[in-house]
Amino acid sequence: MPRRRSAPAAADLPVAPDFASPGFGAILVAATEELGRRDPVLGRLVAAIGPCQLDRRRGLSHFGALCRSIVFQQLAGRAATAIFGRFVAAVTGGGEAVDLTAEGVLALPEEALRAAGLSAAKTRSIRALAEGTLSGAVPLHDVERLTDEELIARLSTVPGIGRWTAEMFLIFQLGRLDVWPVGDLGVRKGYATAWGLAEMPTPKELTAYGETFRPYRSVAAWYCWRAVDSVVPDSSADPAAAAPPPPAATPPRPAAAPPPRAGAAKKRPAKRP
């Protein structure tokens, strides 16, 4: 199993709380280089996969980004993309995802949302989000000022939004760099693949392993996702990567499965949104 290592101080590195930080791209590069030096397995992932692309934002509003995450829960990427496209077309009258609004959602009858391919549960969740956004019960205008846990607590008041959906929002909508989604099946599978583990780590085990990557755990999670569908060098060859070294029969190998799929927090989703 991998050794737990304390994360060294990174006082010389700039720390970005989110996308709003000046020079976020340069900060992301510095964070990736620091993690590559800190952990040899992650260093090989960086060399094999290339630069972290957490700065590739979709341009969605906060409301639109949450709608997308809800649609993608427990669905394969291709199916979720098709349903989200129909949902966007229905709500915006043929517009783009950037045009999604709470008012547009509530202007449609539930039957129209169901006709786009949404389940009854997801329809209720998106409508509840829209109602909460407009009533002020779930405000989204000030989320940049909230801590990670404060935002998770706020979003989790919406039926159908759990910790995983909130964590994906933190990573991919706000650009928070120290989120470690231990309940995500893709992160657990990618960690096992890259570090040569015979079984996926439990969320509790993964929490401990993630201490190595503070304060840039979102970057490490991104490489775990990519490790699922990438060929990486044999991490078991480096004695510093595991203690004791894993058996020779358990090196990382190319994944045959498609990219991780999105899912609800309670059912351990497998794909980032």
Q: Is the dihedral of CA 35, 36, 40, 43 positive or negative?
A: positive
Is 184 annotated as catalytic? yes
106 phi, psi to nearest 5 deg: -75, -15
Q: Helix, strand, or coil here: 262? A: strand
Residue among 18, 39, 142, 184 flagged as catalytic: 184
Compute CA 213 distance to the chain's CA centroid, rounded to the nearest angstrom. Answer: 16
Residue type at position 132: G
Biggest CA pair distance of the chain: 60
Of 16, 7, 1, 5, give the one whose Cα is nearest residue 214.
7
Of 94, 87, 171, 79, give the one whose Cα is nearest residue 129.
87
Per residue in 205-222, is it b (16+ CB within 10 Å) or e — as a string?
bbeebbebbebbbbbbbb
Q: Is-contact 258 76, C-beta < 8 A?
A: yes
Of 137, 136, 128, give the one whose Cα is nearest residue 105.
128
Query: What's the angle, vertex CA 73, arms to CA 89 and CA 183, rounded to 5?
Result: 150
The catalytic residues are: 184
